[in-house]
Amino acid sequence: MTAHPTRRVTLRIWRGDRNDGRFVDYVADVDEGMVVLDAVHLVQATQAPDLAVRWNCKAGKCGSCSAEVNGMPRLMCMTRIDQLPADEPITVEPMAAFPLVRDLVTDVRWNYEVKKKIRPFRPRKPDAADGTWRMDQEDVDRVQEFRKCIECFLCQNVCHVLRDHDKHAEFIGPRFFVYAAALEMHPLDTEDRLADLRHRDGIGYCNITKCCTVVCPEHITITDNAIIPLKERVADRFYDPIRRALRVLFGD
């Protein structure tokens, strides 16, 4: 077996709780190929046993290990140390848009509450006598992109409407526009979420800065493929003068 070159790095990790906190420097010798999460675990196992951090899969599949690494929202398990600048400390801090629990762990429960409000999937009647449906791969492919979401909430974390303007009560955030798009464009779904999107979910607040798309570890084109088409559907429904007139006459 080949020897694994190690490298000495300084990790500048945010330590603290709801009341108070600061950055603490830890020096660690990391192996070739290590990711930031490995280094955090190394610190935890040898220097700071109570360092709070979430993770599960270590392979970018569960969306648990979201944090800000050198100021960039990332999955710690998919961020290789050898791709970060070698001569500076690596800063690791919790997501800023959610209340802190401790160290790198934030309270993301709000996201789960938001999701519950979105009208659930309602399929059309089965296509076949045996109670099953027929769908083309092409139609399935259209929504698969949205269904790749691992609920890491990094997009929620960078969206200025939540992060800077704190509109958590009026705006569901990019993750849930992706979710709504997955349902609206699901080949079998018959539910209508457009009124909710406009009136309750605050889709109008999104001004298409695309910050969410940039950070998505699943490379979901959140703005172009999910938000803009939803905005268009909302606009068609609520701002198209002819349609509005028809709606006044015949109901929604």
Partner 1 sequence: MAHGYERHDCEVLVIGAGGAGLRAAIEASAAGARTAVVMKSLLGKAHTVMAEGGMAAALAHVDDRDSWKVHFADTMRGGQYLNQWRMAEIHAKEAPERVRELEAWGALFDRTADGRILQRNFGGHRYPRLAHVGDRTGLEMIRTLQDHGVHQGIDFHMETTAFRLLKDGERIAGALCYERERGRFVVFRARAVVLATGGIGRAYRITSNSWEYTGDGHALAYHAGASLMDMEFVQFHPTGMVWPPSVRGVLVTEGVRGEGGVLRNRDGHRFMFDDIPENYRNQTATDPDEGWRYVIGDKNARRPPELLTRDHVARCINREIKAGRGSPHGGVYLDIAWIREKLGDAAREHIRRKLPSMYHQFKQLAGIDITVEPMEVGPTVHYIMGGVRVDPETQMSDVPGLFAAGEVAAGLHGANRLGGNSLSDLLVFGRRAGLYAAQYARSVSDPTLDEDDIQRAAAEALAPFERDGGENPYALQRELQDLMQDLVGIVRTEAELLRALEGIARLRERARNVSVGGNREYNPGWHTALDLEPLLTVSEAITRAALERKESRGGHFRDDYPNKDPQYGAFNLVVRKAADGTMQLERRPLAPMPEELTRIIEEQK
Q: Which residues bind partner 1 (CB under 8 A)?
A: 1-2, 4, 17, 31-35, 38, 44-46, 49-64, 78, 80, 101-103, 105, 107-109, 112, 115-116, 120-121, 123, 131-137, 140, 143-144, 147-148, 150-151, 183, 186-189
Shortest spacing between CB 245 and partner 1, in angstroms: 35
* 52 lies in the site for ligand FES, by CB under 6 A: no
CB-CB contact of 220 with 251 (8 Å): no
What torsion do the CA atoms of 159, 161, 166, 170 make, to the nearest 10 degrees? -120
CB-CB contact of 58 with 16 (8 Å): no
Among ligand FES, partner 1, ligand SF4, none, residue 145 binds (CB under 5-8 Å by kind): none
For ligand SF4, the binding residues (CB under 6 A) are 63, 149-155, 158-159, 161, 174-175, 178, 206-212, 215-218, 220, 222-223, 227
Shortest spacing between CB 215 and ligand SF4, in angstroms: 6
Q: What does the chain come to in residues?
A: 252
C-alpha closest to that of 173 among 211, 135, 201, 214: 201
| E strand spans, the chain | 6-16, 21-31, 66-69, 72-75, 90-93, 100-102, 105-106
* 60 lies in the site for ligand FES, by CB under 6 A: yes
Among partner 1, ligand SF4, ligand FES, none, residue 131 binds (CB under 5-8 Å by kind): partner 1
Residue whose structure tokens are 């934030």: 106
Question: Residue numbers of the site for ligand FES (CB under 6 A)?
Answer: 55-58, 60-65, 75, 77
